[in-house]
Chains A and B, each alone.
Chain A
Amino acid sequence: MHRGLRFYFCIYRKILAQDLKSKMSYRADFIISTIGMICTNISGFLSFWILFQNFPSVGGWSYYEMLFLYGFSLVAMTPVQCLLDNNWSLRYQVFSGDFVKYCFRPMNLFFYYQSEVFDVKGLGQMVFGIGTLIYAWVHLELACTAWMVLKLVVYLVSASLVMAALQNAAAASCFWIENSFYLLDLVMRFKDYAKYPMTIFNPVFRFVFTFVLPIAFIAYYPSLVILRPEAVPLLSWLSPLIAILLFYLSYKIWMKGAAGYSGTGS
């Protein structure tokens, strides 16, 4: 059954409103996790800053360019963190058989599953990211034209899609593999390398991060389009297309796994 975007949008809004309401009622939990999020971001930023106290540039990238990359990756990761956080419990739900409950509703299974959890903490990360981006933007004296902003938005969206694709695919592996947590964890660890220009890695890793575990598309290739438009590899320009393709593939993989799921014997 195909239902319109409006239907899904409306349902999502209602679930979200209810979910937020119930989260607010656990106030201590809410405050502690917000503080935790702020600390994580500050410490991430500190280690970044300390690095630059010792090196004037990394892989030919200046401090502010690196800062731009850093902010860019933070913002790009927000949608995944907020909207697809339930991927983290997929493995458990599949293993215990609880996942079967998602299979009986007359709507898209992927949507239904992900709609159940919205991680508010991601929003704080986005604020950090946007702040960093603007700060770097001003210091790099980048133009503030409509064309630049459009480029920024399009490439941010595609970066998010790549991120989401990686997470979906890694999470969906639990439909076939029992110990899939390591895979998900591995992918999420490697995503930290997305904050660095690929030029600092040796060719082998550069190849891996482009074609095998394409984290280079999370921040590096898209940022190039904005920071160094004169010397951009073709892959950078293509990253929106690649992002859509990767996301679509990961969605198909996820759905294929879910369609084959039949629960535990009971």
Chain B
Amino acid sequence: MSYIIEIKHITKEFKVLNRHEGLKGSLKDLFSRDYRIVRAVDDISMNIAQGEIVGYLGPNGAGKSTTIKMMTGILQPSSGEIVVNGQIPYKNRTRNAKEIGVVFGQRSQLWWSLPLVESFKLLRDIYEVPEAEYRAMLDLYRSLVDIESLLHKPVRQMSLGQRTLSDILAAFLHNPKIVFLDEPTIGLDVSMKAKIRTLIHALNREKQTTVILTTHDMGDVDALCRRIVIIDKGKMLYDNDIEHLKRFFGSYRTLKIRMDGDLQQSAEAIAQQMPEFRVSADTDWISVLVDEEQASVMAVLARLQERYRIRDMQLEEISTEAVIKKIYEEGTQ
């Protein structure tokens, strides 16, 4: 199988000047050779197939944006190899540019003073998109989001959300093989986030566009990504299906029940009855964290029903948010 992106053991180091304080210090800096090496990306390898949506996650400063910059060709890896579309991005920056789309959240790439539709037309000419394809793409956009109201608005008059939406549409306009989205939903409200997720999902499905997405919003991940890659301090922590990740942490589910009487007392009683599970209570619910390797949720529920009159119940999957948080905190060891 051939991949659209192949990354082999890339590392990126930045040389940062150790700055001194004060006026005398800045004079010293002028001639200083006192550098410190920051390793932003440390031996990362991955292969990405055409049509995948990959969530690229990691805490702040993990090295996500740096990796994306290397994939788009504006940064050269210190060592290792990247092949995107059969080319080395850094060496063929302009040629690579034709096959990719890039969105950096909160940083518009559109012509600031032009109405959106004029920006689209310019992009059509720059990327040499045939007229028929351009029209088909606009029709597709119309069917997915309401762009009529945006088309004649200058970009500088748009809200952040409208601008991000426009930028995403612009990135897909020339039907690139890969689209890189670096925090596309940052700073957006719930409904705009949902709109953008639907849009990305539909475009990926329609055009088989490969999407690499970084985000801190697990809602994006749940809505879009089957596969996730997690890095921290430049090092790869995880690369697999999101389902696999949850199982990897034990197949926990939370059973929540409601009953009459004092919940706190009942919870203590249940904890004694089932010492293998963690039991807690708040004002409305008693929660039992069930490890499904040991007993099925149904069996636990049956045992509880023998003793208590259960008035209501809920089942909660462990959230991506919780899993990712756990990984950020303790790694996968």
Query: A residues bordering B, Cβ < 8 Å?
Result: 1, 10-11, 14-15, 18-19, 22-23, 97-98, 100-101, 103-108, 116, 259, 261-263, 265-266
Instruction: Tally B residues with Cβ within 8 Å of A.
Output: 29
Sample (22) of A-B pairs whose CB atoms are under 8 Å apart: A1-B94, A11-B126, A18-B122, A19-B114, A98-B107, A100-B74, A100-B104, A100-B107, A101-B104, A103-B72, A103-B74, A103-B97, A104-B72, A104-B102, A106-B94, A116-B111, A259-B93, A261-B74, A262-B69, A262-B75, A263-B69, A265-B65
Per the bound structure, the CA–CA distance linking A40 and B246 in Å amounts to 69
A159 to chain B, nearest CB (A): 31
Q: Are A104 and B109 in contact (CB under 8 A)?
A: yes
Q: Are A101 and B113 in contact (CB under 8 A)?
A: no
Per the bound structure, the CA–CA distance linking A241 and B98 in Å amounts to 36
Residues on the A chain within 8 Å of B98, using CB: 1, 106
Q: Are A101 and B107 in contact (CB under 8 A)?
A: yes
Residues on the A chain within 8 Å of B93, using CB: 103, 259
Q: Are B111 and A18 in contact (CB under 8 A)?
A: yes
Q: Are B126 and A107 in contact (CB under 8 A)?
A: yes
* Interface residue ranges of B116-151 to A (CB < 8 Å): 118, 121-122, 125-127
Query: B residues bordering A, Cβ < 8 Å?
Result: 65-66, 69, 72-75, 93-95, 97-98, 100, 102, 104, 107-109, 111, 113-114, 118, 121-122, 125-127, 154, 182
Q: Are A22 and B69 in contact (CB under 8 A)?
A: no
Residue of B nearest to A102 (CB): B109
Per the bound structure, the CA–CA distance linking A116 and B119 in Å amounts to 12
Residues on the B chain within 8 Å of A101, using CB: 104, 107-109
Residues on the B chain within 8 Å of A116, using CB: 111
5 A-B pairs with least C-beta separation: A106-B98, A101-B109, A106-B97, A22-B113, A1-B94
Q: Are A14 and B109 in contact (CB under 8 A)?
A: no
Residues on the B chain within 8 Å of A107, using CB: 94, 126
Residues on the B chain within 8 Å of A108, using CB: 94
Q: Are B154 and A106 in contact (CB under 8 A)?
A: no
Residue of A nearest to B174 (CB): A106
Per the bound structure, the CA–CA distance linking A98 and B104 in Å amounts to 10
B85 to chain A, nearest CB (A): 13
Residues on the A chain within 8 Å of B94, using CB: 1, 105-108
Per the bound structure, the CA–CA distance linking A29 and B199 in Å amounts to 38
Name which of A19, A108, A261, A265 has the most chain B CB atoms within 10 A of its CB. Answer: A265
Other A-B pairs, 19, CB within 8 Å; known A22-B113, A266-B104: A1-B94, A1-B98, A18-B111, A19-B113, A19-B114, A22-B114, A97-B107, A98-B107, A101-B104, A103-B73, A105-B97, A105-B126, A106-B98, A107-B126, A108-B94, A259-B93, A261-B74, A263-B69, A266-B65
